[in-house]
Amino acid sequence: MSVTVVNHPLVQHKLTIMRNKETSTAGFRRLLREISLLLGYEVTRDLELTTTRIETPLQPMDAPTLEGKKLVFASVLRAGNGLLEGLLDLVPAARVAHVGLYRDHDTLEAVEYFFKAPSDLGDRLVIVVDPMLATANSAIAAIDKLKSRGATNLRFLCLLAAPEGIARFTKAHPDVPVFTAAIDEKLNEKGYIVPGLGDAGDRMYGTK
């Protein structure tokens, strides 16, 4: 089990602006994209390298390149797309999976409405992205589904996590490392992370 809190000052600064209820939809979206570049740097830090023979203008060299098949970003809809966009700037050749899930407001259970992923998930690193890990129902369901379709090498990247969500997630999927910008105080009685930033999807898309 591994949980990494990305406490880089730029990440923390941008996260504070995102938490602020005065931040506009456009500002929230832009910051999520910016922060995803910084989080993406951390979540890919230990990717394996091989070498390839190239010729610089001066001489041949064996230069480092990423080893293995292109990785997969699996976005948990809707809000995962805010992280996905920046991550694709970082790794433009990555493959993408979409996992459509929403939280039932009464039960807080994750309800699946869409799934599309590359067929060879078992051969690739799959980085699952969703800004919020609250009860962890959505993240657990997304990873259950990806594993049922063959994924074995996964990571989970979020922006904010609740301690309750981290505990449930790491119990359900101890083999999946978690990366987050912060672990907040707790969940409130409605399953929202507090202090948190509110409903990530609504803040990204202005749907409240």
Least distance from ligand URA to the Cβ atom of residue 193, Å: 4
Based on the residue annotation, tell me whether 89 is a catalytic residue of this protein. Answer: no
Candidate list 30, 95, 144, 199, residue with the active-site label: 199
Q: Exposed e or buried b for every residue in 98-112, given b needs 16+ CB within 10 A? A: bbbbebeeeeeebee
Closer by beta carbon to ligand PRP, 44 or else 137: 137
Residue 108 contact, options ligand PRP, ligand URA, none, Cβ 5-8 Å cut-off depending on partner type: ligand PRP
Q: How far is the CB of 66 from ligand PRP (least distance, A)?
A: 28
Query: Is 199 labeled as catalytic in the residue annotation?
Result: yes
Smallest separation (angstroms) from ligand PRP to the CB of 75? 10
25-43 and 80-90 are packed helices; what angle lies between their axes, rounded to 10 degrees?
A: 50
> Catalytic site residue 202?
yes
* Partner interacting with residue 136 (select from ligand PRP, ligand URA, none; CB below 5-8 Å by kind): ligand PRP
Q: Which residues pair with 111 in a beta bridge?
A: 102
Out of 19, 29, 103, 168, which one is annotated catalytic?
103
Residue showing the smallest CB distance to ligand URA in the complex = 134
Q: How many CB atoms lie within 10 A of CB 128?
A: 26
CA–CA distances in Å: residue 78 to residues 43, 62, 100, 136: 21, 42, 7, 15
Looking at the DSSP bridge assignments, the partners of residue 3 are 178
List interacting residues with ligand URA (CB under 6 A).
132, 134, 192-193, 196, 199-201
Indicate the residue whose CB is closest to ligand PRP.
201
H/E run at residue 110: strand 110-116
Q: Which of 16, 52, 107, 207 is catalytic?
A: 107
Q: φ and ψ at 143, to 5 degrees? A: -75, -35
Nearest residue (CB) to ligand URA, 72 versus 110: 110
End-to-end CA distance of the chain: 36
Active site residues: 103, 107, 199, 202
